[in-house]
Amino acid sequence: MGLEDGLPRDGGDLDAELSPAPHNPIEVTAVMHIVRIALAALMLSGGLAAAQTGRDVPPPASNANPSGQNPTAASVREDQLLRELNKLQGRVSIPDGKASMLEQPQGREWRSFREDWLPWIGGIAVVGMLLALFAFYFTKGRLRLEQSEESGVKIQRFNVFERFAHWLTASCFIVLAISGLNYIFGKRLLMPVIGPDAFAALSQWAKYAHNYLAWPFMIGIVCMLVVWLKDNIPNRIDLAWIKAGGGFLGDGHPSAYRFNAGQKMIFWIVVIGGALMSASGVVMLFPFSATDINGMQLTQVVHAVIGVLFIAVILAHIYIGSLGMEGAYDAMGSGEVDLAWARSHHDLWVEQQQAKTASGRQPAATRAVPAE
């Protein structure tokens, strides 16, 4: 047989005979299983070896710590930052730079004052004054008007403008006092009674009243300062009035001019306390306009402490001008008081007024004075 006899007759048959035979799928699958089993065996043997030696597989050389120490052991802690820097502050991209203040120790002190000290200060001042007034009333009683031949004769004590200024300041102060006490005691005493929703609505309206009525209150303080300043300068008569206890401790009434020593004390407390309350209140009405966060916290402390002491003093003033002394309310009610009452409590003032008139009974014009 020649060479030609062993070759195929056409090109197609030649390609078919020269191409490799196709692989068997069963054989390929078997080979892949064998490779997987071998890799699993290698990994298992490595893990067993590491477990026997008690060491984990070491991390790559690029992540290894050459010192062998904990990298966070020497990191700065929060309390250390507060001790050294007195604050924790970051960086912000918004216009309000105060937002970068994360924490400062003064805030903890203010929170302690607000939640712990202030309720005790306010409770002792206000409740203590109320208890003292009740005790005085039940032991001493109401100071009665002494009857005389002058009883029934009226003398002008206040004109319309002075009474308006007084009641403007007084009515605003009452609302300011109630809304301020709600700030201190509301969530402790009122919210458990009326519920959180009603308390939230009431507190919101109290805030509006507190903010807006502060302005007529300040106007009233200025009016009283202008009208009554020159008659509230202390003098030697006031020392004698104080030694005699103002007539509350003894049987007689010490002499006094337009204002006695007690009224002068009330006047200066109202003026000075009102000025401090007004200044601190304006700072809080426009927060961060005049001071930083520490100043705002200090302003709230001053406003709250003076406020509760102010309320305690005015409670005593209200008691004397209404329930504690007969005839005292007429000075602010109608503007006229009984001449016998005026001579008993302000005899030197009555003499001055009668000296201005020819009749010696009813003064033609009197100057404004605050009630007892």
pLDDT of the residue at 343: 86
Distance CA 186, CA 182 (A): 4
pLDDT of the residue at 6: 45
Is the CB of residue 294 less than 8 Å from the CB of residue 106? yes
Contacts of 233 (CB under 8 A, 6+ apart): none
pTM here?
0.70
pLDDT grade for 365, boundaries at 50, 70 and 90: very low
- Cα–chain center distance at 37: 74
Per-residue pLDDT of 81-97, as tens digits, reads: 656 556 666 677 777 76
Q: Which of 160-164, 232-236, 345-349 has the lowest mean pLDDT?
A: 345-349
Percent of the chain topping pLDDT 70: 68
Distance CA 151, CA 340 (A): 5
Tokens of 269: 């407390």
pLDDT of the residue at 355: 82
Distance CA 124, CA 312 (A): 9
pLDDT of 16 above 70: no
Contacts of 322 (CB under 8 A, 6+ apart): 328, 329
pLDDT of 358 above 80: no
Sign of CA dihedral 166, 170, 173, 175: negative
Cα distances from 268 to residues 96, 199, 319, in angstroms, run 40, 36, 18
pLDDT of 279 above 80: yes
pLDDT of 4 above 70: no
| Mean pLDDT for the stretch of residues 299-320 | 94
pLDDT of 99 above 80: no
Sketch out the chain's domains with CATH numbers.
Answer: 104-132+150-355 (1.20.950.20)
Is the CB of residue 181 less than 8 Å from the CB of residue 203? no
Which residues face 325 on adjacent strands? 143
Per-residue pLDDT of 196-208, as tens digits, reads: 999 999 999 999 9
pLDDT of the residue at 248: 66
Burial 218-248 (b: 16+ CB within 10 A, else e): bebbebbeebbeebbeeeeebeebeebebbe
- Among candidates 180, 187, 188, which has minimal Cα distance to 209? 180
pLDDT of the residue at 7: 43
